[in-house]
């Protein structure tokens, strides 16, 4: 292997390890900061659980924890959890979630102390399984994975992507979408589909997948999140293709359960046989358990073999009576049958799974789960990867490693994957970005957006996409008026802010004495009370005009400002940081920039990808709230303020708005 490549892979492994540690650290810090109740509220703890041992598997005890009250949590199958009486930081009882239901959650534990079964809480520790799969894949890179990195590092020149003519299934594809598919089909190594906000990346990928299958190819299609995978599955469902979703059913959207491997196995002609084996196994287990299990206290150091031999002779030893020896020997004999039966069941299940995967046209799963052994039952001509700019290199390498060539879709002008560790920040550099910068000719940008009013698109298009994006006819002039919202009757500054035709509005706090940001004691984050009050007023006024709560989204870059705004708004209005809105849209967005200070510091607003995402979520109306005097220290923000001032509605808050 090339030395540079070897070094790079080692470096990736170090970074992954650092990030894994940082994630665990962050969890511990949160456990310190938040009470159990607060942690339960944000979905990372479950309180008041009682447990029962329900089985044993591969040396682990399965403990089913339950309670009366419904369990709502982000803790999912595969996650590591800490079990504790009260303080998770003082417990080292860690297990893996293997199943989750409405009122229960099952955890695999190596040991089960008595205290762990009554009145405990369960805390998310870290999603360790993801890191394990990244590392495992890096340690087992095949030719495809290595080649991808060689392209990335500039150690290998890619071939030209020559467009292939094709008859689209989707007659409505626009010209740039067709070009992207044509070139992806004509790529022997890789291709990049650059899809800015609302330009139909997923729709383009669906066409590409169908065309690949049409050409007799088998496709492995993945995305970073389960939601995006489900989205692809849903859109492929009616295409007549054999589509298989791999993933734990608890993480797959309910409507799509019939596409999961787990479900398809139950539909296979050999399933009856499989079920029968399992029933036999269970019955044998029951029979086995009527005999005495040879636990250390009874067997007194005797091996299985010795017990069986002694039983044959009908004698006891070391104070173990012959009757007990016979009992234990029975247990051992039946246990062997139990093991064999379950082993046969496993083999049969594998055979069925292999058959199903072999016959599939498209196998879909998340990047991380593409590392599962079942995925390897198939051999793939192409990996098609959505959300590629939200996935780290170790993550996208998993599907890439398992296919002959790959197509990535994403937008490097939006937010990269979140990396917690300061030292491992370079993990947020994506393969997509590295490749598109080195080989722009291996990409195609989608240029028609189907999301927003043209006024909202213009600035981001010019600033981040060379002015190349156009609004489709169907959205070019959309406003809240189409949804029945009327112009307010008053004639003042608020009317200007609210008027549906005024699609882009900047409420400028410059000049107000009380405009400045604040920092809470002990917090790195920021909040801005004046802006928070303006958000509240704006939202209330919008609701008053008949705008539905679910049409409105509030975005702010800072956690503390998000919390402050949430505390002021009625329930049902979504308030999130920028990261929480990636890939999503709302009819109206109210955006609070927060930063306002005499030093002209704008902190991480400088990451323009954050600005881009913030500006491109609204379909019909966008209200910006900020201090132009602080923001304008940065040329892009200055251009934004100037753009709104010249072309759209710019209002100095002053005393006009009564806030
Ligand atoms: N050629 C087209 N003609 C009509 N509508 C289209 C076309 N392409 C995409 N759309 C519509 O645009 C919207 C966004 O498409 P899609 O979900 O595929 O985009 P995306 O790029 O994956 O989304 P995002 O940009 O939010 O990540 C969808 O409602 C889709 O139906």
| Shortest-distance Cα residue to atom 18 of ligand 1 | 200
* 625 CA distance to ligand 1 middle (Å): 29
Residue 253 has pLDDT above 80, yes or no: no
pLDDT, position 474 = 97
Residue 250 has pLDDT above 70, yes or no: no
- Determine which of 184-193, 235-244, 386-395, 425-434 has the lowest per-residue pLDDT on average: 235-244
**More confident position, 80 or 145:** 145
* 509 CA distance to ligand 1 middle (Å): 36
CATH fold of 34-126: Elongation Factor Tu (Ef-tu); domain 3 (2.40.30)
List the strands of the sheet with 504-508, edge to edge. Answer: 574-577, 552-556, 586-592, 618-626, 504-508, 649-652
* 613 CA distance to ligand 1 middle (Å): 16
Burial class (CB in 10 A: 0-12, 13-18, 19+), 441: exposed
Which pLDDT tens digit goes with each residue over 154-213? Answer: 999 999 999 999 999 999 999 999 999 999 999 999 999 999 999 999 999 999 999 999
* 203 CA distance to ligand 1 middle (Å): 6
Burial class (CB in 10 A: 0-12, 13-18, 19+), 168: middle
Q: What is the mean pLDDT of residues 293-317?
A: 89
* 191 CA distance to ligand 1 middle (Å): 20
- Cα 262 to Cα 76, 246, 250, 619, distances in angstroms: 17, 8, 11, 39
- Taking the CA of residue 446 as reference, the ligand 1 atom at the shortest distance is 21
Q: What is the CATH number of domain 141-242+378-446?
A: 3.40.50.300
pLDDT, position 295 = 85
Q: Which of 180, 193, 199, 615 to mutate to test the pocket of ligand 1 (most atoms within 8 A of CB)?
A: 199
pLDDT, position 270 = 94
Separation CA 196–CA 452 (nearest Å): 12
454-657 has CATH 3.30.365.10 classification:
no
What is the domain partition of the chain in residue ranges?
34-126, 141-242+378-446, 270-356, 454-657
**Dihedral sign, Cα of residue 581, residue 582, residue 586, residue 592:** positive
- Taking the CA of residue 177 as reference, the ligand 1 atom at the shortest distance is 1
Mean pLDDT of all residues in the chain?
Answer: 93
Q: What is the mean pLDDT of residues 113-118?
A: 94
Separation CA 329–CA 321 (nearest Å): 12
Go through 65-89 and write b for each residue having 16 or more CB atoms within 10 A of its CB, e for each that does not: bbeeeebebebebbbbbbbbeeebe
Q: Which of 169, 203, 221, 407 to mutate to test the pocket of ligand 1 (most atoms within 8 A of CB)?
A: 203
pTM: 0.87
* 621 CA distance to ligand 1 middle (Å): 19
* 198 CA distance to ligand 1 middle (Å): 5
Judge if 34-126 and 141-242+378-446 fold alike in CATH terms.
Answer: no
- Determine which of 96-100, 420-424, 626-630 has the lowest per-residue pLDDT on average: 96-100
pLDDT, position 249 = 63
Residue 128 has pLDDT above 90, yes or no: no
* H, E, C per residue of 158-215: CCCCCCCCCCCCCCCCCHHHHHHHHHHHCCCCEEEEECCCCCCHHHHHHHHHHHHHHC
Other CB atoms within a 10 A radius of the CB of residue 318 amount to: 10
Separation CA 659–CA 654 (nearest Å): 9
Q: Which residues line ligand 1 (CB under 6 A)?
A: 172-174, 177, 195, 197-203, 450, 583
Which pLDDT tens digit goes with each residue over 229-244? Answer: 999 999 998 889 999 9
pLDDT, position 268 = 94
pLDDT, position 151 = 98
| Shortest-distance Cα residue to atom 25 of ligand 1 | 198
């Amino acid at each position: 292997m090339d030395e540079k490549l070897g070094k790079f892979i080692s470096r990736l492994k170090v970074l992954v390890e650092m990030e894994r540690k940082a994630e665990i650290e962050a969890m511990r810090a949160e456990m310190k900061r938040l009470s159990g109740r607060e942690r339960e509220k944000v979905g990372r703890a479950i309180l008041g659980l009682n447990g029962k041992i329900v089985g044993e598997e591969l040396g682990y005890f399965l403990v089913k924890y339950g309670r009366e009250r419904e369990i709502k949590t982000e803790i999912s199958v595969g996650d590591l959890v800490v079990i504790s009486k009260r303080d998770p930081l003082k417990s080292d009882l860690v297990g893996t979630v293997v199943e989750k239901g409405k009122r229960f959650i099952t955890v695999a534990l190596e040991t089960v102390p008595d205290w762990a079964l009554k009145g405990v809480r369960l805390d998310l520790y870290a999603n360790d399984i993801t890191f394990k799969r990244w590392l495992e894949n890096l340690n087992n890179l095949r030719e495809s994975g290595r080649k991808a990195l060689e392209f990335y590092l500039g150690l290998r020149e890619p071939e030209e992507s020559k467009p292939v003519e094709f008859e689209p299934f989707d007659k409505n594809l626009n010209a740039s979408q067709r070009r992207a598919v044509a070139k992806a089909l004509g790529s022997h190594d890789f291709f990049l589909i650059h899809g800015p906000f609302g330009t139909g990346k997923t729709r383009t990928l669906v066409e590409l997948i169908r065309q690949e299958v049409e050409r007799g190819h088998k496709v492995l299609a993945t995305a970073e999140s389960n939601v995006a995978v489900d989205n692809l599955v849903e859109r492929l469902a009616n295409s007549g293709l054999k589509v298989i979703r791999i993933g734990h059913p608890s993480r797959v959207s309910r409507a799509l359960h019939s596409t999961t491997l787990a479900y398809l196995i139950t539909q296979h002609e050999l399933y009856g046989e499989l079920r029968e084996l399992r029933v036999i196994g269970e019955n044998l287990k029951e029979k086995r358990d009527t005999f005495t299990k040879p636990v250390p206290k009874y067997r007194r150091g005797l091996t299985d073999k010795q017990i069986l031999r002694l039983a044959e002779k009908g004698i006891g030893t070391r104070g173990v009576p012959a009757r007990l020896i016979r009992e234990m020997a029975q247990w051992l004999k039946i246990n062997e049958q139990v093991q064999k039966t379950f082993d046969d069941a496993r083999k049969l299940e594998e055979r069925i799974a292999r058959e199903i995967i072999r016959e599939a046209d498209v196998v879909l799963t998340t990047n991380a789960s593409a590392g599962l052994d079942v995925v390897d039952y198939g051999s793939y001509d192409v990996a098609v990867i959505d959300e590629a700019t939200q996935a780290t290199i170790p993550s996208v390498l998993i599907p890439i490693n398992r296919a002959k060539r790959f197509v990535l879709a994403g937008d490097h002008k939006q937010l990269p994957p979140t990396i917690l560790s300061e030292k491992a920040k370079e993990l947020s550099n994506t393969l997509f970005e590295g490749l598109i910068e080195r080989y722009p000719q291996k990409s195609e940008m989608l240029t028609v957006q189907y999301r927003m009013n043209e006024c909202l698109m213009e600035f981001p298009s010019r600033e981040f996409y060379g002015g190349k994006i156009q609004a489709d006819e169907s959205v070019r002039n959309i406003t809240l008026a189409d949804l029945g919202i009327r112009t307010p009757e008053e004639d003042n500054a608020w009317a200007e802010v609210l008027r549906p035709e005024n699609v882009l509005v900047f409420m400028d706090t410059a000049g107000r004495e009380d405009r400045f940001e604040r920092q809470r004691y002990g917090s790195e984050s920021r909040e801005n009370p004046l802006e928070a009050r303006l958000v509240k007023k704006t939202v209330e006024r919008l609701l008053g005009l008949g705008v539905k709560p679910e049409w409105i989204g509030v975005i702010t870059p800072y956690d503390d400002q998000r919390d402050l705004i949430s505390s002021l708004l009625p329930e049902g209005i979504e308030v999130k940081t920028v990261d929480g809105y990636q890939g999503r849209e709302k009819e109206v967005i109210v955006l609070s920039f927060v930063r306002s200070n005499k030093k002209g510091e704008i902190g991480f607003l400088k990451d323009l990808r954050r600005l881009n995402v913030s500006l491109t979520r609204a379909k019909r109306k966008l209200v910006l709230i900020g201090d132009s005097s602080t923001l304008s220290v940065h040329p892009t923000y200055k251009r934004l303020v100037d753009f709104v001032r010249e072309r759209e509605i710019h209002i100095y808050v002053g005393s006009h708005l009564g806030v």
